Amino acid sequence: MSGYRLKPVEPDARVTVRFDGRDFEARRGESLAATLLAAGETTVARSFKYHRPRGIVAHGAHEPNALVQTKDGMALATQLDAREGLDARAVNCWPGPRFDLAGVLDRFGALLPAGFPYKTFMGPGGRAWPFFERVIRALAGLGTLPTQTRPLRIEKRHAHCELLIVGAGEAGRAAAAQARRPGLRTILADDGACPDFGHVTSLGHTTVLARHEGGLFLALERAPHPGLDARLWKIRAGAAVLATGAVERPLVFAGNDRPGVMLLSAILAYARRDFVAAGRRVLIACNNDEGYDGALALAEAGVGIVGIVDMRLGAGGPARARLERSGVPIHEGMAIGAARGVPVAGARLVRLDGTDATRDVACDAIAMAGGHTPLVHLHSHAGGPLAYAGDAAAFLPAGAHEGAWSAGAANGRGLAAAADGARAARLALGGPAEPEIPLSPAGGLLARWESPPAPGADKAFVDFGSDVTAADIRLAAREGYDGVELLKRYTATGMALDQGRTSNMNALDVLARARGLSPDRAGTTTFRPPFLPVPFAAFADPGGPLWKPSRVTPLTAWHETRGAKMYESGANWRRPGYYPRAGETLDAACARECAAVREAAGIYDSSPLGKFEVAGPDAGAFLDFVYATRLSDLKPGRGRYALQLHEDGRLFDDGIVFRLAPERFFVTTTTGNADACLQRFSYCRQVLRPDLRVVVASVTEQWADLVLCGPRARDVLAAAAIDPPRDLPFMGIAGIELAGRPALVARAGFTGEMSFEMFVPASSAPAIWDRLLSAGAAFGIAPVGSEANHVLRIEKGFISVGHEGDGIAGPDDLGLGFAVHADKPDFVGRAALMRDRADPAPRPQLVGLLARDPAFVLPEGAAVLRADAAVGRGFVTASCASGALGRSLALALIEDGRALIGRDVAVAIDGGIAGAHVVRPAFYDPQGARQRG
């Protein structure tokens, strides 16, 4: 193949690009592929599996071979714009694409058929596989990740329109011309340049990647303006015209993957758009009239044609006579049996009438014209059905689908694209029904793509990207992988760069013939978004503090200023883990904070806790329904620990519910489940119990929650001049005024000590927090983080829904049966809980564990085994070193755990087994005297 320029590069457009260490003259803005073709640089890649030399096949986004590496990552040479300084290199080869050491693999092709890893390298006993797996993994893969550290700048933008037109070809432009209604918003998007119609919004260099239900389209606009790498559009369209065109179908013959074998449409595009000839002696192989039309067009562009190989007899249309008059040989009833030379230097033609006659033709490029594969991806993404059209030998949209009308070549009407595009737009905009436009496939198409091989011929490929041959397809069918989806997964056909756009139909044709089926019976694979590869950055956040939402409490600034180590906790909140002093380790800080709570006073910021007001005449009945605990009999000013269950009877959430007034409750939930609780409250109120007169409002954000705890807590309050009622009982609540605003104080907490939980307006929280700390200084108060809280609650055996509520454990399993009032007629999860209670099957039960070595902290999550056998019985849910008790403690969920109390179990740890003794899950002040005060 000896490509050259049909027109010299204009001096002012001349740039130098680099490929594989060599410089090439390029026209600014043309593709790297055009530059390389013009320089006669034919071999630009190596294939994925066999490392065969490969060249450029297509023009634009559907190239299956020419992936190259740049500093920004990998890109198709056909989509990489030539610019000064562009530096690219071939991938998957060493030292280069023209000579690649791994090319030797092609000689061992017999060892590498479809499914080869499973049947070639997995010998008896599987001993060989680990070795070969390493070798295969080392050889697999193509390029490397970008070396640049600059994150891509990609904007996301929502947009709305009444009509979206995808594709600015003939059909798309005709559709756009129809969209002139006043007030109508129309978007026209195209992968390349997009004409400006005035009345439509044109999005050029924009690939529509996906169509989802409800008229949602995703589109990626490349480099919309300097400084922005891309823009991801989320377009909601009332209706759409899908004028996405079609991809020319390759032919299947031995050596059809050799550099110099290209699609006819690509050779034409390079000649017409880039003024580059792919070769000086082009041989065209076809099964339809487009081979002749293309030959004429190429000749007019100045490209030499050495002949046409037509599978048909007596065909070719009007163009044939003109070509014959100009002396172009027509080899009819023949096909290419084998391409010869690397790069292509000729072809051996074979007859299709069964005779053995062959003919050799010298050429430096082969153009394949096998008809067209409509790009029906967007139609299919949202579930649009396809139907096989025998005349077009293609799967086509079976009519419009959910507001999307396919048009033009994508609809099998490539020769009547304008009329079909205009019709589609009229229908999409609500126009009256119109008769269908007849199919217009490639003229005189013969439904045959594969040639009989010439003697001693090379491999014949159906998928260049995945290195899948026609023989692989037949082998897979013989081995039982004869459904299209199985075939795809077994051979990887359609799974490479072009996602099957050039290969799927030929793979299906070979499969159908192997099975003796018609193509429509063989079926097609499922098209899934995205249509083209997309940088991850288009969907993901570039990182930094905005990568996902984070929530702060009114006291976060205080925590950070005091050097707290902040942890990510549930529901996007960030909370202090611990407050290390200079030189203090986590363990030391945690022990100091625990000691403050047990011996003096601690204070922690519990603001993220879910908080709700439930009000109305039926508020009590409503809570009785939502909670497993009876709450309607609570007296005003009192609270109760309460459980919510899943529908399956297992624990969903816990918290304390206070009654503020006869028709008003204040409900707390866990932090992580606060949003889910709000949803559940709303669902129960609106759907399950609309008969109840109740309202539920989230006040999580309105109220900060400051918890003061420890034996000196009451002294600290007094010193801070905060005066809750002296007779406020354990689990009581009262309204007070703090910093001039109403607040609530409750006698509740999570540490097992005398605790006062103060719900204060968020904006008042910093002042009250400071006041308490100042007042508590004389008593040894310490701010306490979640690390210490974890230890304190383990010492008490209090459950944490995030640890012990594993989705399997029910309230009885966790020792919380006291909080279930099953005598209520109904509550969420009741029926399933009753079933659980009637089932004698063993259940996981919460127990305490004391490691045999009191200094050893059992790892959380570790499996708990029977002492006599390596059989899992449960796992450690929470574990700590307790300063108050001077030893390690753990909680665990173990099958029939209560029956094991007093016995030993084994805990699987890294590198062995640790012994542990099973005890009741309450280690510190089990009677609760300290918290009751």
Partner 1 sequence: MAEKVLVRRLDPTPATLVASATRPAGVGVEIEPGQWLIDGDARPLDATLVLDMRDAYVGFAVTGDEADALLAQGMALDFARLAPDFAGRAKLGEIAVLIDRWPGGWRVRCERSYAEWLAGWFARAAALMSSTGGI
Interaction site with partner 1 (CB under 8 A):
153, 155-161, 185, 187, 201, 224-225, 227-228, 234-236, 545-546, 548-554, 572-573, 608, 613, 615-616, 664, 682, 686, 693, 695, 697, 699-703, 742, 761-764
For partner 1, give the closer residue by CB, 159 or 296. 159
Residues 6+ apart with CB under 8 A from 830: 628, 645, 649, 822, 824
CB of 213 to partner 1, least distance (A): 14
For partner 1, give the closer residue by CB, 158 or 852. 158
CB of 787 to partner 1, least distance (A): 22
Long-range contacts of 293-296 (CB under 8 A, 24+ apart): 293/317, 293/319, 294/264, 294/265, 294/267, 294/268, 294/367, 294/369, 295/319, 295/323, 295/328, 296/322, 296/323
Distance CA 853, CA 847 (A): 18
Would you report the helix, strand and coil content of the chain in percent, each value rounded to 5? 25, 30, 45
For partner 1, give the closer residue by CB, 165 or 187. 187
CB of 484 to partner 1, least distance (A): 36
CB of 913 to partner 1, least distance (A): 44
CB of 151 to partner 1, least distance (A): 12
For partner 1, give the closer residue by CB, 526 or 686. 686
Distance CA 536, CA 540 (A): 6
Q: How many CB atoms lie within 10 A of CB 168?
A: 25
Amino acid in the structure at residue 453: P
For partner 1, give the closer residue by CB, 660 or 716. 660
Residues 6+ apart with CB under 8 A from 155: 224, 228, 230, 231, 232
For partner 1, give the closer residue by CB, 599 or 613. 613
Query: Do residues 640 and 631 lie in contact, with contact meaning Cβ atoms separated by under 8 Å?
Result: yes
CB of 495 to partner 1, least distance (A): 32
For partner 1, give the closer residue by CB, 16 or 572. 572
CB of 201 to partner 1, least distance (A): 5
For partner 1, give the closer residue by CB, 447 or 699. 699
- CA 489 to the chain's CA centroid: 20
For partner 1, give the closer residue by CB, 185 or 824. 185
Strands (E), 83-152: 87-90
CB of 742 to partner 1, least distance (A): 8
CB of 661 to partner 1, least distance (A): 11
For partner 1, give the closer residue by CB, 320 or 659. 659
Distance CA 164, CA 161 (A): 7
CB of 7 to partner 1, least distance (A): 35
For partner 1, give the closer residue by CB, 393 or 609. 609
Distance CA 847, CA 816 (A): 12
CB of 734 to partner 1, least distance (A): 18
Handedness of CA 758, 759, 761, 762 (dihedral sign): positive
For partner 1, give the closer residue by CB, 391 or 701. 701
For partner 1, give the closer residue by CB, 13 or 695. 695
CB of 780 to partner 1, least distance (A): 31
Map residue 175 onto helix, strand or coil: helix
Long-range contacts of 93-101 (CB under 8 A, 24+ apart): 93/45, 93/46, 93/51, 96/20, 97/20, 97/43, 97/44, 97/45, 97/46, 97/53, 97/54, 98/43, 98/53, 100/46, 100/51, 100/53
For partner 1, give the closer residue by CB, 164 or 418. 164
Say what the alpha-carbon torsion angle 587, 588, 590, 596 is, to the nearest 10 degrees: 160
Residues 6+ apart with CB under 8 A from 99: none
Q: At what angle do helices 786-796 and 586-599 cross, to 10 degrees?
A: 60
Amino acid in the structure at residue 499: Q
Distance CA 655, CA 668 (A): 5
DSSP-assigned beta bridge partners for residue 217: 211, 235
CB of 153 to partner 1, least distance (A): 7
For partner 1, give the closer residue by CB, 225 or 726. 225
CB of 568 to partner 1, least distance (A): 13
For partner 1, give the closer residue by CB, 354 or 543. 543
Q: How many CB atoms lie within 10 A of CB 132?
A: 15
Distance CA 90, CA 67 (A): 7
CB of 668 to partner 1, least distance (A): 16
For partner 1, give the closer residue by CB, 573 or 625. 573
CB of 894 to partner 1, least distance (A): 38
Distance CA 613, CA 685 (A): 13
For partner 1, give the closer residue by CB, 56 or 164. 164
CB of 391 to partner 1, least distance (A): 39
**Smallest Cα–Cα separation from 559: which of 604, 525, 609?**
604
Distance CA 130, CA 787 (A): 43
Distance CA 384, CA 375 (A): 13
**Smallest Cα–Cα separation from 657: which of 637, 673, 671?**
637
Residues 6+ apart with CB under 8 A from 674: 571, 608, 609, 610, 611, 698, 700
CB of 217 to partner 1, least distance (A): 12
- CA 345 to the chain's CA centroid: 45
Distance CA 100, CA 52 (A): 9
**Smallest Cα–Cα separation from 881: which of 904, 920, 907, 851?**
851
